[in-house]
Amino acid sequence: MKGRASTPISVQSRRPPFSVWDVVAVVLVLGVLVVLAEAGRGLAMPIDTLDTTPIGLDPGNLPGYAARTALRMLTALLLSLVFTFTYATLAARSRRAELVLVPLLDILQSVPILGFISVTIVFFMSLAPGRVLGAELAAVFAIFTSQAWNMAFSFYQSLRTVPDDLVEASRCFRFGAWMRFWRLDVPFAMPALIWNMMMSMSGGWFFVVASEAITVGDTTVTLPGIGSYIALAIAQRDLVAIAWAIGAMLVVITIFDQLLFRPLVAWADKFRFEQETGVPPPTSWFVTMVRGSRLVRMTAAPVAAAMRWSYRIAPKGRAAGHGKSRSSAGSVWADRAWAATVLFVVAVAVWQIALYVLSGVPLSEVATTVVLGLATMTRVFVLIAIASLVWVPIGIRIGLNPRLARIVQPIAQFLAAFPANLLFPIAVSGIVAFRLDPNIWLSPLMILGTQWYILFNVIAGATTIPSELRDVAANLKVRGWLWWRKVALPAVFPFYVTGAITASGGSWNASIVAEVASWGQNRLEAAGLGSYIAKATEAGDYHRVVLGIAVMSAFVVVINRTFWRPLYLYAERKFRLG
């Protein structure tokens, strides 16, 4: 017996100190470091070097361009994640902060990316005068503005819908605010947040063309990247170069899917509120590598120890209150004083904007922009309704089928990342050839990049439907329209509202690109607020740019306050889990 017992020990002693997965991990890490070093090369170089090496349509340039664009988008995604954890948490935990932060988020998501670039470019260029780094920071911030708002809305919605029994359990275990955030709030929100991270990354491709062409006064700084490559291909009407750009995008999206998003989906499956039996969990070779690599475990051990140490030193006791109990915090007079202060600041800001606009724009034109805003609003509402009818049932079916979700995930990422700019040749040529009305047929370009917010959020919501609820519906023979009305639609409704709010704001933003389309000598315009801002930006008329952005922001805030916000509160009150 002793001899037999010693055999496993002997075998164990002969095991190599490192496994095959350790080799794979080292190769991947070194490969990523090489790509990052190549992409980051030249950041400290003078900005004049961009003129000596202009963008070229040689397909051999695409690997370097793709690395630069991927680094910008990944950096913007990390900044968006930090913003989400801080901004959305403060809005969800503080009633007074919510009065300011949520409407401000409505405004931020409605401000066009051109508006952010025109306002912030001077600041970022001043951080690194005469260097490429300043333009790179401006490009990263522009991409950040196309990613952060969607993620913040998703995380905010998840924090507001944490089940009551989980909150009570965290109080019974005396979780502090810090520990509850990392052990309850973030895990509960992670499945939906990951889907929205995928959507945000994909949505960034829609504006990557604008973010990589930075204008400073009369000078345009064109950064190397897929976006600038696409812009040059469109300007030169080079369909072959556009095809190469699409191929490069597909490769980059596939790499992000395999090394980032698919591993995150597999890892976050353990955080689902309700685990379904009989369905294999999502898998990822990258997660298998991480779990099988001793080097990765050794590297991650200090991080895990630091997190456990932070739980011990964080204040103990009653955790931050749930959303429903926040109304009792503070006195009524303090709330009124805070609201009055906010209204005063808003009034001063509106007054200053009005003075600036009216100094360069006649008062009658303000009424014209409001009418143009009504035209764009009509397009947005019609397109959101059509997208909802199409993608809500499809998203529910995908979310209820994990195998199908794993197949659809990379396909949806690619379709969401497909820039609408590449469809302008088809749209413009078709409208001109058939003599169609641009006011109608340019409208679908507004929803091409934003409809995926609805699909991704509905998929995330469908994955959270408890199996007990589906089993009860099956036992009671609830089928057909009754199943949709009593089970599926109520379960995904909070997630749908989050996606619809973001899709609505994104459609307003996309109107600047979609209401003015050109291909070669053909230029089509649709009457609307987006085309008004686009033309004012081209002309460098900042008075009209500010007027258009202010009117667009006012429309989005009013619509969200009077329509989407009541729907959001209704969904939170009636369809919360727990």
- pLDDT digits 0-9 by tens, 280-332: 677 788 888 888 888 888 888 888 888 888 887 776 655 444 444 444 445 67
pLDDT for res 419? 65
| Fold classification of 344-575 (topology level) | MetI-like fold (1.10.3720)
Query: Domain segments of the chain: what residues?
Result: 23-321, 344-575
Q: How confident is the model at residue 11 (pLDDT cuts 50, 70, 90)?
A: very low
pLDDT at residue 340 in the model: 83
Q: CATH classification of 23-321, choosing from 3.40.109.10, 1.10.3720.10, 3.40.50.300, 3.40.50.10490?
A: 1.10.3720.10
Q: Is the pLDDT of residue 502 over 70?
A: yes
Q: Which residue has the tokens 């919501």?
A: 461
Average pLDDT of every residue of the chain: 81
Task: Return the residue matching tokens 């209820």.
Answer: 400
> Which pLDDT score, from 0 to 100, does residue 448 have?
78
Contact (Cβ atoms closer than 8 angstroms) between residue 423 and residue 465:
no
Express each pLDDT in 329-380 by its tens digit.
456 777 778 778 878 888 888 898 889 888 989 988 999 999 999 999 999 9
> What's the pLDDT score for residue 421?
65
Nearest of 205, 105, 114, 121 to residue 153 by alpha carbon: 105
Contact 216, 48 (CB under 8 A): no
Min mean pLDDT across 244-248, 383-387, 402-406, 450-454 is at 402-406
What pLDDT digit, counting tens, does each position of 446-501 carry?
887 778 889 888 988 888 787 778 888 888 888 888 888 888 888 888 889 888 88
Contact between 456 and 201 (Cβ < 8 Å): no
Q: Fold match between 23-321 and 344-575?
A: yes
pLDDT at 388 over 90: yes
pLDDT digits (tens, 9 = 90+) for 59-83: 998 988 888 898 899 999 999 999 9
The DSSP result for 93-155, as a single string, is H-HHHHHHHHHHHHHHHHS-HHHHHHHHHHHHHHHSTTBHHHHHHHHHHHHHHTTHHHHHHHH
Question: In this structure, are residues 272 and 463 in contact, taking their beta carbons and an 8 Å threshold?
Answer: yes
